[in-house]
Every structure is written in structure tokens, then in C-alpha cells.
């Protein structure tokens, strides 16, 4: 007998490993519907054949979730978009323990999904499955993982009151109480018309020294992807 290919998708390289064997392997590089024929012939008899139709499903290919990462403030919403996957979307999954465990998002979203009122860091991915999953094609493909970093709301905090010194240069310290976020201390020597960052002054306590003229201090506070806030201003003044 002999196997032959009756119909095949255009561009396929379909072939049998040994077309003369009744039990052989069929290979192809292209998804689609194939009609295969097994023919038994004898020089003294009329050839007989039987045909079988098979459908070859493409393996799933992972698409891309975007944006790749984002930072937001607690309570914010984030919309993710999924594109360019091949196959069917099996599941959107999320993790709030840095990928140790994943939970499906239900009902399964299509190409976009909006996370509302986020309060914790969240990782997201999409699982693609073959369109032939119900026919036994069990391969899956996983997209990139998107990380949504959620920061607590910025709190500017409060600096204690002004200082009046009798002599200069003046030394002392300022403490920013109740702030939430990263801190950058600033000073102004022109009564607040302009402000300069103080290099290295990023903790809740700032120790100043060598002050010889009236100087205002304040702190910029930023929590992750949240808005930057400004604390109250305090002054160090020298009595004349």
C-alpha cells in the first residue's frame, strides 16, 4: 500500500516518514485540514483506497501584555492590553505574592482588563491555549509578566516650628513627622522665591550647620507613583 496526500493547506511541507507503511507518522509545518489516502493496489486487481481527514491545530504563541510595568498610588486603576497572541486566551492570571501563586481572573477577559482600586503590588500574565484544546492539543504559552507597583498615598508630614538664634553660624536639626514616602529636603535663602535641593538630605531628620543668614527649610515627599507633596516651611533666623 501507499499513503498519499490528497489535499493540504497551501505552503505546507506535509510528508510521511515512510509512505509505504500502513502505520506511519505524518508531519507538517502548517495548521489546517488535510485529506490523506491509503491505497492498496495489485497488478491483477483494481486498486482500493480509504481516506481520512485530519485537522492540524497551530501551537499557541504568547502575545504581549502592556504596559510592561507601571507604578500607581493606592486606590488607583490600571488598564492592561494584550496583543499579538496566536490561539485562544485560556486565562488572565494575577499574583499578589511576587509570582509564588497565581489566581485566574474571572470571568476571563478578552484583550483588555482594568484593575480597579488597587491596594497591593500585583503581577499579571496571560495564558494562551490552542484553539484545538478540546481535541487534545494541550500546549500552552505564557505571556510576559507585568508588574503593577502600588504605593501608599503620599503624606507630606509636618516640620516643627521656626528657630530664632542670637548668634551665627547656627547649627541644629529639623524633624519631619508623619511623612509617607521618600524625602528630599530643600532650603531657600531668598524667602521662598527659589528652592534648592540639599544634597544627601533624604531622611526624616536633617541636621544643619553653618547658617549665617535667614533660611527657610521644607521637604518634598513622594510615595512611589503618587503625587509629590510639600511639607510646611520653617525658618532659621538670626536676631539682629
Summarised one tens digit per residue, pLDDT across range 118-157 is 999 999 999 999 999 999 999 999 999 999 999 999 999 9
Q: Quote the pLDDT of residue 98.
A: 97
Q: Quote the pLDDT of residue 78.
A: 97
Rounded to an integer, what distance in angstroms lies between the CA atom of residue 98 and that of residue 204?
29
Ramachandran angles phi, psi of 167, nearest 5°: -135, 160
The 8-class DSSP code of residue 118 comes to -
Ramachandran angles phi, psi of 17, nearest 5°: -65, -35
Rounded to an integer, what distance in angstroms lies between the CA atom of residue 10 and that of residue 30?
9
Rounded to an integer, what distance in angstroms lies between the CA atom of residue 103 and that of residue 106?
9
240, pLDDT greater than 80: no
Q: Is 133 helix (H, G, I), strand (E, B) or coil?
A: helix
What are the C-alpha distances in Å from 71 to residues 46, 105, 187, 188, 206? 74, 21, 29, 31, 28
Nearest of 161, 163, 158 to residue 183 by alpha carbon: 158
Ramachandran angles phi, psi of 124, nearest 5°: -135, 145
Task: Quickly state the pLDDT bin for 211 (edges 50, 70, 90).
Answer: very high
Model pTM score: 0.80
Q: Tell which wins on pLDDT, 44 or 129.
A: 129
Annotate 31-97 with DSSP letters as a single string.
-EEEEEEEEEEETTEEEEEEEEEEEEPPPPB--EEESSEEEEETT--EEEEEE--BSEEEEEEEESS
Amino acid at each position: 500500500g501507499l499513503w498519499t496526500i490528497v489535499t493540504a493547506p497551501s505552503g505546507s511541507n506535509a510528508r510521511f516518514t515512510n509512505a509505504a507503511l500502513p502505520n506511519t507518522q505524518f508531519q507538517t509545518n502548517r495548521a489546517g485540514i488535510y485529506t490523506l489516502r491509503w491505497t492498496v493496489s495489485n497488478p491483477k486487481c483494481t486498486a482500493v483506497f480509504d481516506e481520512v481527514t485530519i485537522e492540524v491545530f497551530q501551537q499557541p504563541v504568547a502575545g504581549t501584555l502592556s504596559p510592561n510595568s507601571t507604578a500607581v498610588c493606592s486606590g488607583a486603576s490600571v488598564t492592561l492590553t494584550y496583543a499579538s497572541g496566536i490561539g485562544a486566551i485560556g486565562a488572565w492570571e494575577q499574583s499578589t505574592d511576587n509570582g509564588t501563586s497565581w489566581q485566574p481572573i474571572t470571568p476571563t477577559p478578552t484583550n483588555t482588563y482594568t484593575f480597579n482600586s488597587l491596594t497591593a503590588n500585583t503581577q499579571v500574565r496571560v495564558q494562551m491555549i490552542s484553539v484545538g484544546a478540546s481535541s487534545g492539543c494541550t500546549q500552552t504559552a505564557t505571556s510576559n509578566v507585568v508588574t503593577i507597583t502600588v504605593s501608599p498615598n503620599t503624606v507630606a508630614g509636618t516640620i516643627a516650628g521656626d528657630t530664632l538664634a542670637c548668634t551665627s553660624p547656627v547649627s541644629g536639626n529639623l524633624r519631619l513627622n508623619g511623612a509617607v514616602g521618600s524625602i528630599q529636603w530643600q532650603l531657600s535663602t531668598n524667602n521662598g522665591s527659589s528652592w534648592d535641593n540639599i544634597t544627601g538630605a533624604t531622611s526624616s531628620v536633617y541636621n544643619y550647620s553653618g547658617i549665617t543668614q535667614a533660611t527657610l527649610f521644607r521637604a518634598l515627599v513622594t510615595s512611589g507613583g503618587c503625587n509629590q507633596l510639600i511639607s510646611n516651611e520653617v525658618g532659621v533666623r538670626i536676631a539682629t
